[in-house]
Amino acid sequence: MLNNLKCKLKGIYEGVLILIGLAIIICFIFINRQKNNARSSRKGCRLFFCFSGIRLEQIGDFDESADLIIMNHQSVADILCLEAYHPRNICWVAKKQLGEIPFYGYALNGPEMILIDRENKKGLAFLLKSVKEKLAQNRPIVIFPEGTRGRGKEKFLPFKPGAKIIAERFSLKIQPIVLINTRKIYNTSPMEATSNVARMVCLEPFTIGEMPKARIFKKAESLDSLDSLDSGVESKAGGDSGNKCAKRVGLVQIQGEALDARDASAHDLDSSQNAESQNAESKGAESKKVDSKNLDSNQSANVESKNTESTKADSNDWYGTLASLMQEVHLYHYKQLNKDK
């Protein structure tokens, strides 16, 4: 009972901090209407981590050349995590109704975020036009493919096609970012905070035509014993106003079983087709050379057709592969952060 009360009070306190941060951001937007407001937003969002005592662990690095960031969505705190530390003037894609909320809406409309009406049939055309304009302004696009907040536990919500359409239309470089535990550091329904640690995993960027690489960052048992390990992590601790406390974290790069199975299957298929082609040639030579040539020609055409179909399928499947990869990364780190609970 006492613990639940503490969680609720902490949630209310963090809600007040968010409102104060929004007020600061809005003031800077009003004062610097003709200027880039990214720095002002960054300062306002860092106040949340400074005064809430929340530690945000960042694993991996931001790729400043990536123009599309795809993130899972659990909490309002997701926005704070990225705004506080991403070096560029990012542009969020959000639903139009959020821009109509008093006070909060001005924080979206002031920096000219992309607000779309999901019920409008022309919404997609408006989205693509707006994305083109923001890219021309050198602003990376950030989108939540789930479309709304998930429960923040093991499973993601299904990815909607918006991010895929944007990426393919403009041939963008993509950086996936996985957030873990943000719903636990600040939840609005019910309003509570049950954890002081969140994690942001920046996965390896890729471009359209490539498959997302199956890289999973694995965290050691204790932050106190990480100095001798190889990969980088930054622990952005509350109380130091965003100063970087360098720590080291080990990572293991593994290939997803689905990708391995697909490659192995493709290899077996090619081997089988080559063997069939050789047998057909041998038999055709013994009977009639003309029939052999026709058989070889037909088989070659079939192989080329199958390879073309396979390439198209692989190219179109990048979005599904990305969803599975992000889900796998999230599940691993969610269990790490909550293994004692």
Distance CA 21, CA 79 (A): 12
Let me know if residue 194 belongs to a domain: yes
Let me know if residue 166 belongs to a domain: yes
CA torsion, points 95, 99, 104, 106, in degrees to nearest 10?
Answer: 140
Tens of pLDDT, residue by residue, the chain (341 residues): 777 776 777 677 666 776 666 666 656 555 555 455 667 677 777 877 888 788 899 999 999 999 999 999 988 888 888 988 999 999 998 877 666 666 555 666 666 788 888 777 788 899 999 999 999 999 999 999 998 777 656 678 899 999 999 999 999 999 999 999 888 877 766 666 667 789 999 999 998 877 776 544 443 333 333 333 233 456 665 544 333 332 323 333 322 333 334 444 444 544 555 555 555 455 544 544 444 444 445 554 454 444 444 334 344 589 998 999 999 899 989 888 888 66
Let me know if residue 154 belongs to a domain: yes
Distance CA 303, CA 300 (A): 5
SS3 201: strand
- For residue 121, give the DSSP letter: T
Let me know if residue 149 belongs to a domain: yes
Domain extent for 14 = 1-216+325-337
103-131 pLDDT, tens digit each = 555 666 666 788 888 777 788 899 999 99
Contact between residue 140 and residue 88 where contact means Cβ atoms under 8 Å apart: yes
Let me know if residue 206 belongs to a domain: yes
By DSSP bridging, strand 68-71 and strand 141-143 are: parallel
Number of domains in the chain: 1
Let me know if residue 283 belongs to a domain: no
Contact between residue 292 and residue 281 where contact means Cβ atoms under 8 Å apart: yes
Let me know if residue 157 belongs to a domain: yes
Let me know if residue 125 belongs to a domain: yes
Residue 316's nearest CA partner among 135, 185, 161, 88 is 161
- The strand pairing partners of 231, in sequence order, are 249
Threshold 0.85, pTM exceeds: no
